[in-house]
Amino acid sequence: MPSIPILEERQAQIHRKGSAPFEMTCGKHSLAGSVSQRACVFCGSRVVLYPIADALHLIHGPIGCAAYTWDIRGALSSGPELHRMSFSTDLREKDVIFGGEKKLAAALDELIDQYQPKAAFVYSTCIVGIIGDDVAAVCRKAEKEKGIPVLPVHSEGFKGTKKDGYKAACDALFKLVGTGSTADITPVSINILGEFNIGGEAWLIKKYYEEMGIPVVSIMTGDGRVDQIRRSHGAALNVVQCSGALTFLADMMQETYGIPYIRASYFGIDDMAKALYDVADHFETHPAIMARTREIVRREVETIMPEINRIRRDLAGKRAAIYVGGAFKAFSLIKALRYLGMTVVLVGSQTGNDSDYATLRDMCDDGTIILDDANPLELSKYIIEKQADLFIGGVKERPIAFKMGIGFCDHNHERKIPLAGFAGMLQFAREVHTSVTSPVWQFVPTRAAVG
Ligand code: SF4
């Protein structure tokens, strides 16, 4: 394969550890012509809000913006499943010329009457920002007429990065927080933030906390319910997973309601155990919680270790590439892969900040490629150079892995199995093992040449 050049303006967002003093540019708009792997602002907001299962999610824009349906963002619900419906105002040329407010008002009127949701989120897409529809005014009117919260999400795709979509979603969520009764919430209680219940992960995590003796007031937003979010200001602590998505909300809840927050990751044995111990530590005046936590961690680790040890023997020395949305997940994945005996040769994220990349620099071995806001050509180039055996990413990274003829592990919202928690670590190890050791790769010409 011919050598793949890197665009000059992209050089500052790529670092080879150990080759030069560490300097990474990040947090800026994607370079035109680079075909970024990053999703738009609107996509960032819907990732956060869509798992709220008893709310109406209406995309105000052309039908194409609604393409990311539940089927590829499969957050599970234990009850209502209104979130699986994909509603759009389907704006056409005439609406763009004369405005889409009437169409939006009519859609809200019809959908709220038909589906009786607990709340409605209205997502603004690019064209709505351009034609200047007053979405907030339409929402206010519908809220008054229908008696449910109707929340505008200012997520016009062009106005920033995916991270701005997280912020738009948090702004909308924050309007719900504080509007419900906290009467029966105990002083030992938490909210789980940034957990979207992919493959039932939120249920696993919630079960651990409840076994520890800590009630969960709300999960934002996995298996989410509007009424739980409305009363979430009654919890004693916010436990925030994922570096980007829900931190904005945690900050706002801390400032307004005085609720402290800690960060957590539920991927990998070390980070999963640390998440539980950190929460137990927070409630240190209740020593029984820590005692129960130790027992849970001991039991869970004992259950999964025999099989993990067997898998580790096959994976020792294999090389992995990671490209994920939030860098916080990459930290856990590096640790989990090392636990399986593998080496990480490439790691990157869509939305990492200065501090995230400094952490990655400290965690990675010399020679590891660290990338911000990468494109397919860059990922392909370094996968070939580093002879990776496995690529971990999401729906947009999958075809790159298969074109390169290497194993792939979906660690994004499209997967159907839980990879979080102790049980999830075992699933992760099994999936990595199955993919990396598949005999099919020996028939791929590039891999056969590599040997
Ligand atoms: S970039 Fe704009 S037009 Fe494209 S999907 Fe996002 S909101 Fe829709």
What are 380's two structure tokens?
């392909």
Which among 272, 299, 326 is the end of a domain? Answer: 299
Indicate the number of domains in the chain: 3
pTM: 0.91
- In three-state secondary structure terms, 264 is strand
Rounded to the nearest whole angstrom, what is the distance from the C-alpha of residue 64 to the centroid of ligand 1? Answer: 8
β pairing state of 390-393 and 319-324: parallel
Any idea how long the chain is? 451
pLDDT single digits (tens) 168-179 = 999 999 999 999
Whether 203 and 167 map to the same domain: the answer is no
Pocket mutation for ligand 1, best pick of 29, 65, 153 (most atoms within 8 Å of C-beta): 65
Query: Is residue 275 within 8 Å of residue 237, measured between CB atoms?
Result: no
Q: Looking at residue 168, which CATH number applies to its domain? A: 3.40.50.1980
- In three-state secondary structure terms, 407 is strand
What does the H/E/C string look like for 342-379?
CEEEEEEECCCCHHHHHHHHHHCCCCCEEEECCCHHHH
Sheet strand arrangement including 261-264: 216-221, 190-195, 237-241, 261-264
Rounded to the nearest whole angstrom, what is the distance from the C-alpha of residue 37 to the centroid of ligand 1? Answer: 14
pLDDT single digits (tens) 309-332 = 999 999 999 999 999 988 888 999
Query: Is residue 435 within 8 Å of residue 390, measured between CB atoms?
Result: yes
Question: Is the minimum distance from the CB of 65 to ligand 1 under 6 angstroms?
Answer: yes
198, burial (CB in 10 Å: exposed 0-12, middle 13-18, buried 19+): buried
Q: Which of 402, 394, 399, 396 is nearest to 438 (CA)?
A: 402
What number does the ligand 1 atom closest to the CA of 155 have?
7
Residue nearest atom 1 of ligand 1, based on CA coordinates: 157
Determine the structural domain holding residue 86 and report its residue range: 41-173
pLDDT of 372 above 90: yes
Whether 225 and 163 map to the same domain: the answer is no
pLDDT single digits (tens) 229-238 = 999 999 999 9
- Banded model confidence at residue 443, pLDDT cuts 50, 70, 90: confident
pLDDT for position 351: 84
Cα–Cα distance between 262 and 280 in angstroms, integer?
Answer: 12
The distance from CA 2 to its chain's CA centroid, rounded to whole angstroms, is 35
Residue nearest atom 8 of ligand 1, based on CA coordinates: 65
Query: Is residue 217 within 8 Å of residue 189, measured between CB atoms?
Result: yes
Whether 357 and 279 map to the same domain: the answer is no
Tell me, yes or no, whether 428 lies in a domain: no
